Structure 1
Amino acid sequence: MAERLWAHSARDSDGLRHGLADHLRGTGRRAGAFGEIFGAGPLAAHCGLVHDVGKGSCEWQRGLIRAESSNGPVGVPHKHAGTWLLDQQRLGILAAVVFGHHGGLPSAARLKAELQFADHHPLVAEAIRRVGEIVPEIHLQGPIALPGWLGDAKVVAADPYALDLLVRMVYSTVVDADFLDTEAHFAGVARAVHRMSAADLVDRYDRRRSELLVARLSEQGPCPVDGLRQEVYEQAVAAAGGPRGIYRLPAPTGSGKTLAAGGFAVHHARIHGLRRVIVAVPFMSITEQNADVYRQLLDRDGEEPLVLEHHSGVDLDGDYANRRWQRLAAENWDAPFVVTTTIRLFESLFSNKPAAMRRVHRLAGAVIVLDEVQALPDRLLIPIISALRTLTERFGSTVLLASATQPPFEVLSPLRATPIRDVIAEPKPLYKALNRVRYEWRLHPKPTLAEIAGEAAEEPQALVVVNTTKDASRLHQLVEQNRSALHLSTRMAAAHRRDALAEVKRLLDAREPVSVVSTQLVEAGVDLDFPVGFRAVAPADSMQQAAGRVNRGGRLPYGRVIVFDPEDGSKGVKALYGAALEATRDRFGPECAPDDLDALEAYYRARFDFHNVEHVGQEIQKERLAHDFPRVAELFRMIDEWTVPVAVPYGDVDELQRILAHLRSGIPGAGVQLRALRPYLATVPKGAAIRAVEEGLAAPVVGDLIEWLGDYHPKRGIEITSPDPQELVF
């Protein structure tokens, strides 16, 4: 029977089952190719080769036949055999790769216990014997080739977290390879691989950028800051000639940072032969805008898209992943230019679940652009920066840290001995030349939201930014008592936000009256240009980012930014921002504006101290050293994990229903459908989502995705109440 071992059930198209030997070798071949990029090709290939050896037992094979007829699970564990093999082959913690390839990377303690169980389990020896007859290479003939640095005691001592990242990388190659090989079986054809790499994009990027600049000049005329934007771009391209490593792009708002960062990335990729650019930004609204910019530069009609936008955040792991197609639908970032959120990037890197982690290996040998890095959460800075350092030193990547309010990350322990190269050699003159606003302060006495609404309504064109969706909704209603106003928050569908932003830009360009009330999603990367802006008191970097939407083109001598502390604003703001807000109050006000670079650096240092960044971050680092992968994932929580995606009836409702029906059906091709769903997605707090389902205002779809069945306001989107101030942001 050994020659008739199967890996997967028969596919619907022709009734053919997936041979186990074919699946093991196919997964090993793919994983090995992925691992070559970071010097672990043989290791990844071997882990892929043995990952499903446990399916060789007679009991598992009988279970597959039963499952095929009943359409149920096999019900027989199969991961112990390959795990035991890797342990016997002296690969240590890397045996976790096989044990966790479906359920998630285990802790080292759990792995030890499972290996003791495997020592005495008859199915393990049987499966290894039967599979060894048809795939003899599962038995190594000598030591397996490992990355060279792994055997260097000095290197390991200098970065003890490198092994943690190696396990994650190898796990990612195996999971992605397993999913791709399985998908190819059930689809009857392998997924197409992108022919172009990031290194091929330079000529297209530069040519199209020039064409767009010429078109803008002919439509809008010259802009006072055009020369400075060109200077920033040229410095970015020149810096791209440097070695791989960590770079810093401090560039004031309105200086063309998005184009400059992309230019650096593609030029650096060509010089070093890198395959991929991954741009990560903090908010979905920026993802949408930046992806549109990069599509204009790189994509062409009638050709395969080069830019992949990934931010949906539908959780396809954990308790939700009870269907094979859900796991196969997870994005794997197989594109030369990826635009995602920092949430998606770092949740993948520090997760322990397969659907999230299948894309981690794409970070190796890539240019990773972290835009608006000031938005990274302080409590997670140590593990984040530590991982970025390891990516550049051991996995062939380059990281570009971009922000108008650049934090001094070099003062934190992971980067104290690591060189950071500056893209802009002398940033202070650039900031001085692009100083386009004057701050006004409404702190004592504190104004009410109604007073701010009345003042904003008197301005021909004004932007008001507040800290919570609750305040944004109230303030929008107050402004509309005086005049029509637009609203922006993530309670609106992505297409709704895009339409609102397009209308805002139209009104601004036409010099027509326009009032906008927004959460802080508008602060970073959104290309708006108001003469006046109002900003509720927030950390200094947020206030400066809001100021970047004022007099952006430099057409006024100075724009006005009114900072106000609302008497009746949401009470949870202090708890939400914590020490960052206290450090701001201590340092900024009428005597010192948030655009003072020296004061801003002192603010960050104080903020890091107030938040005890070094100590707080060490809890995750300790668990990384202990290889407790589930605990790391539990501790590493970014803000979007308080929310879930919601499909809302905005736009083509018939198309939305078709997509949702496809997702609910379990028909193959769900990855394409999840991408098509993006324009319809808003977000709501997890608690509110649970209540909405219980009350019949929403219905589950797949994973943690829900369909909104309640009212949807034509300007404000989903309107909900929540007692938790942390659920009110964005």
Structure 2
Amino acid sequence: MDELFAHSPNADSVWHPLADHLRGTAGRAAGFAEEFGAAEIARYLAMVHDVGKGSCLWQEGLKTASRTGGRVGIDHKRAGARLASEHGLADLAAVVLGHHGGLPNKEKFRAELRLSRGKGRAPVEEAIKRVSAIVPEILPAHPPRWPAWVEGATPLEVDMLVRLVFSCVVDADYLDTSEHFSIGEQSPVTRWTAAELIERFERGRRSYLSKRRGGPSPIDQVRQRVYDEAVTAAVGEQGIYRLSAPTGAAKTLASTAFALRHARAHGLQRVVMAVPFISITDQNAAVLREVLGHSDADPVVLEHHSGVDLDDESKGHDDTERKKKPKTGAPARWRQLASENWDAPFVVTTTVRLFESLFDRRPAAMRRVHRLTKSVIVLDEVQALPDRLLIPILSGLRTLTERFGATVLLTSATQPAFWQLSPFRGVPMREVITDPERLYADLRRVDYEYRSRATTAEMLADELAGKNQALAIVNTTAQAQELHRLVQERRPAGLGPVLHLSTRMVAVHRKKVLKEIIDLIKDQKPTLVVSTQLVEAGVDLDFPLVYRAKAPADSVQQAAGRCNRNGRLARGRVVIFDLEDDTGASRVYGAALAASDAYIGAGLAMPDDSAALAAYYKDRYSLENVEGLGEVIERSRRRLDFPDVAARFNMVEEFTTSVLVPYGPEEKQAEIMDAVAQIRRCPRAAGGLLRDLRPYMATLTKRTADQGLDRGLAEPVIGDLILWDADAYDADRGITLEDDEMYVF
């Protein structure tokens, strides 16, 4: 070979010249990093990221891999990392070293640099010499300029800078490589920015509100006030905002109005809306697609979470890549491309996807995080963020707003006391609602009733069975299944269905039941529902009567949001009961329950008392040692120990596992079993199949999953995923086991 190449031939038998790849990647990376003043360093890191491919050994390896269909398998990262280190980029050289396998820790980084100057010196220097002859820019006369603020930056700000520059470089690398292998393929793109969507949103909102089933609500005037205040606040300066409003105040539409108008006021590119649960993501995305006029021909809203996409984040792209064009249509192609790097004006995702991407170290997971710069980040139902990870989450949000041009909007009916925690101390609190106390008073639609004596499941079932419409929320899935069974047995014939919701049901089953519940309520038909906490955030239910097992104040208030939601009654009724022998509450809530009992309950304040809530959160954070738990991760961030941060930052605790169930009609069950057979035959190709199967998965504790395996009700598929026997799946309650102490929500 007289010429140096970066990748093997594409479908048109055209090789990818190394010089073109380095310059193409550099141009893209610089464009991304321009948003936060780091264009020069991103350009240089991208320019040198594949310099190691210039060695004779690597070029010969590429020829062999192209002929055999294998991988090159020869290191090509040390040369670029060494160049970056020698040209003033210090710790940012880790970006080059990690662009395939993930950001390293300092020990790994320094060891690789020593190799590049020691026994691995020859191929490194050979590569630099050969590549500099055709790309002289890799040997600049002056070091690339850092952003001006870096000189006084804290270690945590440097950590975030490395993450975002890494995101720019790996995204640019993927895109340039993909362009080579997708020669002649037109990638569908959206032509909109967030700021340009305001007029479409306003038209869509008016149409959406006019078509609501049940007609106008008595509290529509208050909802309009919330909306108007959000519009007014949107012209304020960038920073961290709070939208504090009771459940049922139409926060989704108000927060969208704020985000789009704020984007226009400050020239921001996109809105990223993150919610804690997939059920809310589905709901919000459906509403936003309607009001923003999203269509296959004009894509605007990207819905990205584990239920619609499963990243193959185990490795970076290969040097040989695939040569076949995808067999998907334009809409699916847009969703796939946009989900890889969030190149969409409006992204709806989960907080798990958002923050685990931000604090990950792998290229595929981190490609998208540079899109958070110059964006409005809307965090819905922020009370559901895990306490043990609040310190790094809040710290990261503060840095994104202060250094990287983002604005953050925190929305909740039960706003946590984040400003009592160290990352937010000194950060201005910008309230969207000017008088939250008055708003809560105007939207007080329920009376709370605390019962002093313990209630058995049988007593509660007797009381529920004769009700016309009621919702009962308990703390564990085992309790929900038992109570549902008891109420079903006692419900008089012809009085209406008794429905069940929990994560022991597969997602498509839950979605079907939730739609049935909503339709029954809107048609004013009798219905009883027994559920776990999964209905407490963002789910649009409206019951006249809600029973809630003892729980912390914020959970009780969220449950109350499913009662008299649209204000059609003078007052709804929320009954808080203490379930006899309920050990689940303490297991699920821990210290939060004790902190709540000190301030809120019978003879104390009610759950919607803002002063009592503030005191509760303060004690809760202290009892749970939130600062101490978070500091463990923050120390690793200051040391730039990216692997340790990624290992510790798990939004979903590891005591649960996914369970696949062949749910549905016979043809669907056969389709699921065929996919399982394909996964077992070829585990490496499982990613796409698993993505398609996500709607047919439920969640169990590992202990309960093991019980299913021991009893012959389940069998392993791949990794921790197990397959549950369809005949052992209850049509009403999902996965059931006798004498089971399951306590996942």
Match of 1:430 in 2: 439
Asked whether 1:407 is paired with 2:406, we answer no
Match of 1:268 in 2: 262
Structure 2 counterparts to residues 458-469 of structure 1, below 5 A:
458-469=466-477
TM-score, with structure 1 as normaliser: 0.91
Match of 2:197 in 1: 201
* 8 A Cα contact 2:714 2:722, kept in partner: no
Out of 112, 115, 120, the position equivalent to 2:113 is 115
What is the letter of the counterpart of residue 144 of structure 1?
P
**Cα distance in 1 for residues equivalent to 2:429 and 2:233:** 12
* 8 A Cα contact 2:304 2:339, kept in partner: no
Change (3 A) 1:221 1:195: closer
Match of 1:149 in 2: 149
Asked whether 1:513 is paired with 2:526, we answer yes
| CA apart distance, 1:575 | 3.3
Change (3 A) 1:224 1:235: same
* 8 A Cα contact 1:306 1:336, kept in partner: yes
| CA apart distance, 1:51 | 1.4
Out of 207, 213, 225, the position equivalent to 1:211 is 207
Structure 2 counterparts to residues 312-711 of structure 1, below 5 A:
312=306, 314=310, 316-318=312-314, 331-444=340-453, 446-483=454-491, 484-569=497-582, 571-591=583-603, 592-639=605-652, 642-645=655-658, 648-650=661-663, 653=668, 679-685=695-701, 697=714, 700=717, 710=726, 711=728
| CA apart distance, 1:719 | 4.0
Q: Give the share of equivalent positions with the same residue, in percent.
A: 53
TM-score, with structure 2 as normaliser: 0.89
Identify the range of structure 1 (497-506 vs 330-339) with the bigger mean alpha-carbon deviation: 330-339
**Cα distance in 1 for residues equivalent to 2:109 and 2:237:** 39
Asked whether 1:186 is paired with 2:181, we answer yes
| CA apart distance, 1:380 | 1.5
Asked whether 1:250 is paired with 2:267, we answer no
| CA apart distance, 1:337 | 0.7
User: CA offsets per residue over residues 330-359 of structure 1, 9 Å max, x none?
Assistant: 732111111111111111111112221111
| CA apart distance, 1:649 | 3.6
What is the root-mean-square deviation in Å for CA atoms of aligned residues? Answer: 3.1
| CA apart distance, 1:690 | 7.8
**Cα distance in 2 for residues equivalent to 1:425 and 1:68:** 64
What is the letter of the counterpart of residue 549 of structure 2?
A
Match of 1:68 in 2: 66
Structure 2, unaligned runs of 5 or more: 327-335, 492-496
SS of structure 1 residue aligned to 2:129: helix
What is the letter of the counterpart of residue 388 of structure 1?
L
**Cα distance in 1 for residues equivalent to 2:201 and 2:396:** 29
* 8 A Cα contact 1:463 1:516, kept in partner: yes
* 8 A Cα contact 2:521 2:527, kept in partner: yes
**Cα distance in 2 for residues equivalent to 1:666 and 1:45:** 39
Match of 2:135 in 1: 135
| CA apart distance, 1:696 | 8.4
Asked whether 1:287 is paired with 2:281, we answer yes
Change (3 A) 1:328 1:215: closer
What is the letter of the counterpart of residue 714 of structure 1?
A
**Cα distance in 2 for residues equivalent to 1:227 and 1:656:** 48
Match of 2:734 in 1: 717
Change (3 A) 1:93 1:584: same
| CA apart distance, 1:379 | 1.9
* 8 A Cα contact 1:476 1:517, kept in partner: yes
User: CA offsets per residue over residues 564-616 of structure 1, 9 Å max, x none?
Assistant: 222244x3531332211110122221122211111111111111221222222
| CA apart distance, 1:720 | 6.0
* 8 A Cα contact 1:2 1:133, kept in partner: no
**Cα distance in 2 for residues equivalent to 1:414 and 1:212:** 39
User: CA offsets per residue over residues 459-490 of structure 1, 9 Å max, x none?
Assistant: 11111112222222222222222234212223
Change (3 A) 1:692 1:281: same
Change (3 A) 1:563 1:460: same
Q: How many residues align?
A: 716
Match of 1:167 in 2: 162
Change (3 A) 1:706 1:41: farther
Change (3 A) 1:629 1:566: same
SS of structure 2 residue aligned to 1:589: coil
**Cα distance in 1 for residues equivalent to 2:432 and 2:201:** 19
**Cα distance in 2 for residues equivalent to 1:721 and 1:86:** 61
| CA apart distance, 1:389 | 0.7
Change (3 A) 1:448 1:64: farther
**Cα distance in 2 for residues equivalent to 1:575 and 1:514:** 30
What is the letter of the counterpart of residue 310 of structure 1?
H
* 8 A Cα contact 2:272 2:377, kept in partner: yes
**Cα distance in 2 for residues equivalent to 1:257 and 1:88:** 51
| CA apart distance, 1:430 | 0.8
* 8 A Cα contact 2:315 2:364, kept in partner: no
Identify the range of structure 1 (450-459 vs 381-390) with the bigger mean alpha-carbon deviation: 450-459
SS of structure 1 residue aligned to 2:734: coil
Asked whether 1:729 is paired with 2:737, we answer no
**Cα distance in 1 for residues equivalent to 2:455 and 2:361:** 47
User: CA offsets per residue over residues 506-559 of structure 1, 9 Å max, x none?
Assistant: 111122111112221110111100011111212210110011000111111211
